[in-house]
Amino acid sequence: MANVVEAAIAESLNSPHSKYETIEQIKDAATALHQTHACTLCILRFLQIAHGPVYQDQDTQLCDQLGLSEQPAEPCPVCLGILSNDVARQIAEKYTAQEFDAQQVTLGIEVPKSIYVRHRSMQIFCSTNIALTSIQDVVDVKDTLKYMVAQQLANHSVTVVAECDTQIDIAFAHPESAPDCQFLVDRANSATASRVAIITKLTACTDAEFTAHFTCPPPPITTRANISVSTKRASIFVGGRYLKLERNISQTPFIVEGRRVTEHSVSEIIGAPLQQLTKCDSYNMVGSGREDADVRMLGDGRPFYIECINPRRIRALDADICEIERTLSTTNSPVQARRLQVIRAQDTAIIKEGEENKTKHYCALVWFAHELSQQKLAEINELGKHEIVLEQKTPVRVLHRRAPLTRPRKLLALAIEHIEGCFYRVRIESEAGTYIKEFVHGDLGRTVPSLAGLADTPADIFELDVECVSLDFPPAAI
C-alpha cells in the first residue's frame, strides 16, 4: 500500500496541472483537510489525486503516507459515507445477486442533493485554508464512486462502459442532511427544488451569500447515506407465429371487472416459459391483429412478438427457445408456436406496418334461415370472384370501446358451399380490419352488403376459423 500511495503522490506532483511542488505541501494540505473530518478518499479528491489503486484501500498506511495521525472519523460529512469500499462492494454484490448475464454495464448514480451543498462548503474552506488547492480541479464524487464500483465489478468479470444496454442505477438518500438545501429552495421561491435547480442556485450564489447560510467546512453527521441498487436492461423480443387449436382461448388475459372470462390465453401459454427462460420482470405480447376468443387460428399461424422486459438472461437463447416450441408441440398444447426466434427491436415494426397491408383467409360454418337455391349459391359465388367493398359501421358488440365510425373494407374473395340442411361452409379472403361475423349476419343493417343480404335470408355464424394471415413475419434472415 505504501508504494501505491507514493506512486499516486509522485504522479500528482509530476502533473502539469498540479499546484503542489513538494510532498510536504501535499501532507500539509491533507492535514488541513483531515481537520474537517473528511474521509481519506475525500481528502484524496480535494488533493486532486487522480483515480488509481490508491482509491481502493482505506487503511492506516494511507493515513501514514499522508502524514495523518489517525483515520478520519466516520461517517464522512463531505461524501455522506458514500465513498467507501464497503459501499462499492455492496453495490457489486447487489448487482450480481440479480443474476444478469451482462458482461458490460453502465452506471447511473444519483446522490443526495445535499452533497452539492457540502461540496461547495469544502471548496470555500479549501480556498480559504489551503492556498495551493485549485477548487476547480477537485475529483468528482460520482466519478470516484464509479471508479470504485468498476473495480469491484471487475472481480465478477463485469466491465463498466460508457454506453450499453444494461444499466445499474444506484441511488442514495440522506434524510439527516436534507435540510442543507433549504436555503437554496427558499431562494428559488419554490416548495421543492430539483438537482439541476440546486446546482444552478449554488453556481449563482457568491461565497459570502453561501457562508451566511451554511458553515465551512460542512457540519458533522451521525448517519450514512442509504443506498438502493436496481438494474434495468433493454428488452429483448421473441417473434414467431402462433396457432390456436381450440376455442375459448383469448390472445391476452381476458379479464372483466376482476374476473377471468377465459381460463387460458395465448400470451400466457407462450410467454410464461419465455419469462422463466429469460428471467424477465414481465412480458408483453403484440399480435398482428387478434381473433376473438371463440375463433381458432389455424394454417401457418398468426404473426406475433413477445417483449421480455428487463431480462436477466439474453445470451445463448436460441436452443432453449426452440425447446419451448418443441415442448408446446409434443405436449399437445392448445396453443402452438412456429418459427419462434429472437428478433431485433426494429423488426417489431413489421407487425404495425402490416396492419393495413395484410390479408386474411377465413373459413366459417354459417347457418341460414332457409336453404339456398343452386341459383342463389351460383350468384354469390360469381359475385365472390370479384372484389366486394363493404361499408361497416362499428359493430354493436364493440361500441362500448370503439369510436362509432363507418369504415370501408374489402372482400377479395368469397366462396360458399352447401354442407347439409341450412348449414354452409363459407370461405372469405379480406383485408385487415374486416369484421367477418358482422359481414355474415349484417349486424342489424350496420354492415352493407352482408352475406344475409346477398342470400335474402337471415344468417348467423356458428364457427369461425382464421386459416391464413398473409404477413411475412418473423423475418427469415436475422
List the catalytic residues: 292
Distance of CA 314 to the CA centre of its chain: 14
The cell for 390 is 363493404
Distance CA 379, CA 454 (A): 9
In this structure, the number of other CB atoms found within 10 A of the CB of residue 74 comes to 13
Please give the helix or strand (H or E) that residue 13 lies within, else none.
helix 2-14
Q: Decide if 46 contacts 33 (C-beta within 8 A).
A: yes
What distances in angstroms separate CA 222 from CA 37, 74, 80, 219, 235, one per listed residue?
Answer: 12, 8, 9, 10, 41
Helix (H, G, I), strand (E, B) or coil at 337: strand
Residue 151 backbone class (left: φ over 0; alpha: ψ -120 to 50; beta: rest): alpha
For residue 402, give the DSSP letter: S
In this structure, the number of other CB atoms found within 10 A of the CB of residue 154 comes to 12
Show Cβ contacts of residue 97 under 8 Å, excluding neighbours closer than 6 positions.
none
> Please, how many CA atoms are within 13 Å of residue 384, restricted to the half-sphere of its CB?
20
Distance CA 121, CA 136 (A): 13
Q: Decide if 83 contacts 178 (C-beta within 8 A).
A: no
What distances in angstroms separate CA 268 from CA 144, 239, 245, 409, one per listed residue?
Answer: 45, 15, 15, 32
In this structure, the number of other CB atoms found within 10 A of the CB of residue 356 comes to 9
The cell for 314 is 439474453
The cell for 171 is 441511488
Please give the helix or strand (H or E) that residue 411 lies within, else none.
strand 406-420
Residue in 439, 444, 422, 410 with CA at minimum distance from that of residue 376:
422
What distances in angstroms separate CA 280 from CA 232, 240, 347, one per listed residue?
Answer: 10, 19, 20
Q: Decide if 339 contacts 241 (C-beta within 8 A).
A: yes
